């Protein structure tokens, strides 16, 4: 496996020409040729990403190429409030009207780091069966997980986001979803939720982050992570600063049949997660390292800009190869 590239890569068959897996009814294509029909560009990116996983770090030479191609296509497909069905690669038709969340909008939910996760779901659609979407936002990950055939149990405490994700689920007619307007923590009960008006994607449980601007505060129900994770085999977690408290509550046995994709929001949280999981014998793999195993603390992601962290007892992150 190659290490993350920090400079212009040498000629490489993976970069010069990427082929779809034999089970996919598509022919080979050149990575540089993104000037194709709009229905094919996202599909090509999603199928290419598993093959060039070593180049998923933002510092790689390929990242900005894929990022620009994806951004242009997403803006073309999902820039308005229409409920028209748009082809979204192998996931089929997707209805996802434009939605504003303060400084962030629904187009931001299709960033390249997210497409990498979508690609991982699709590549592993035969591996995983039951998933948790913790911090489900307005339902994009949930919808695409369901399109992979996963049974999805989602958690989203923001009432506005929750209403919107219910709309997303209904518009896309996906099945096998259990929804909770609630947060996940190290315990069950209730906690104060801080809704950041200027950027509702930054809303969080009180004490996890320093809020800014106008906020709303209200109580939300909590689910204990250990009571819900053992019944699933994959977790996607984006909880705005509460990830350390959730992961520190887990034990080795909780991870024997469960993997997780996690966003880590700060250096101190990264350190706690690293030390805890190493202590209980659970492996970590970082996008910033080309999905190689994390051996040292400095290899941990410390913000969303570093991409995701994959947590597992597996020897390597499964990308279908």
Ramachandran bin of 230, using left for φ above 0, alpha for ψ from -120 to 50, beta for the remaining angles = alpha
Superfamily of domain 124-312: Vaccinia Virus protein VP39 (3.40.50.150)
pLDDT of residue 12: 52
Do the Cβ atoms of 202 and 196 come closer than 8 Å?
A: yes
Do the Cβ atoms of 206 and 227 come closer than 8 Å?
A: no
Token pair belonging to 238: 């984006």
Please give the Cα distance from 287 to 309 (Å, whole number).
Answer: 6
Please give the Cα distance from 307 to 300 (Å, whole number).
Answer: 10
Per-10-residue mean pLDDT for the chain, 321 residues long? Answer: 41 47 37 47 94 97 95 94 94 96 97 98 97 98 98 98 98 96 98 97 94 95 97 97 97 97 97 98 98 98 97 96 55
Do the Cβ atoms of 218 and 176 come closer than 8 Å?
A: no
pLDDT of residue 290: 97
Contacts by residues 18-27 (CB-CB < 8 Å, ≥ 24 positions apart): 18/47, 18/48, 18/51, 18/52, 19/51, 20/47, 21/47, 21/320, 24/90
Instruction: List the beta bridge partners of residue 250.
Output: none
User: What is the maximal distance between C-alpha atoms in the chain?
Assistant: 55
Nearest one of 189, 188, 185, 216 to 200, comparing CA atoms: 216
Would you kindly state where each structural domain of the chain is located, as residue ranges?
7-98, 124-312
Q: Match 């190869």 to its residue by tokens.
A: 321
pLDDT of residue 321: 55
Please give the Cα distance from 109 to 140 (Å, whole number).
Answer: 8
How does 246-276 read in b/e, with b if 16+ C-beta sit within 10 Å? bbebbeeebbeebbbbbbbbeeebbebbbeb
Do the Cβ atoms of 320 and 21 come closer than 8 Å?
A: yes
Residue 172 per-residue DSSP state:
H
pLDDT of residue 40: 84
Q: pLDDT > 90: what percent of the chain?
A: 85
DSSP secondary structure letters along 215-238: EEEEEEEEEEHHHHSTT-SEEEE-
Token pair belonging to 218: 């209200």
Which tens digit of pLDDT belongs to each residue from 210-249? 888 999 999 999 999 999 998 999 999 999 999 999 999 9
Q: Match 């009960």 to its residue by tokens.
A: 189
pLDDT of residue 4: 40
Q: The pTM is what?
A: 0.89
Instruction: Give burial (CB, 10 Å; 0-12/13-18/19+) of 308.
Output: buried
């Amino acid at each position: 496996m190659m290490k993350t590239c920090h400079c212009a890569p040498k000629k490489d068959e993976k970069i010069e020409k990427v082929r779809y897996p034999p089970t996919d009814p598509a022919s080979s294509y050149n990575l540089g040729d993104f000037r194709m029909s709009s229905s094919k560009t996202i599909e090509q990116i999603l199928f290419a990403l598993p093959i060039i996983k070593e180049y998923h770090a933002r510092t790689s030479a390929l990242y900005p190429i894929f990022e620009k191609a994806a951004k242009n296509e997403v803006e073309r497909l999902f820039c308005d409030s229409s409920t028209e069905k748009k082809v979204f690669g192998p996931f089929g038709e997707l209805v996802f009207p434009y939605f504003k969340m303060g400084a962030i909008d629904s187009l931001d939910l299709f960033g390249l780091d997210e497409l990498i996760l979508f690609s991982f779901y699709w590549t592993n659609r035969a591996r995983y069966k039951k998933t948790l979407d913790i911090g489900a936002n307005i339902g994009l990950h949930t919808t695409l997980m369901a399109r992979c055939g996963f049974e999805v149990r989602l958690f989203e405490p923001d009432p506005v986001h929750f209403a919107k994700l219910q709309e997303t689920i209904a518009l896309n007619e996906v099945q096998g979803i259990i929804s909770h307007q609630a947060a996940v923590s190290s315990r069950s009960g209730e906690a104060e939720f801080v809704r950041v008006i200027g950027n509702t994607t930054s809303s969080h449980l009180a004490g996890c982050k320093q809020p800014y601007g106008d906020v709303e505060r209200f109580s939300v129900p909590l689910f204990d992570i250990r009571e819900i994770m053992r019944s699933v085999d994959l977790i996607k977690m984006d909880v705005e600063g509460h990830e350390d408290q959730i992961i520190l509550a887990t034990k080795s046995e909780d991870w024997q049949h469960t993997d997780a994709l996690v966003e880590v929001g700060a250096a101190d949280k990264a350190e706690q997660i690293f030390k805890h999981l190493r202590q209980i014998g659970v492996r970590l793999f970082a996008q910033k390292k080309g999905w190689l195993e994390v051996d040292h603390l400095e290899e941990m992601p410390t913000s969303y800009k570093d991409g995701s962290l994959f947590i597992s007892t597996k020897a390597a992150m499964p990308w279908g190869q």
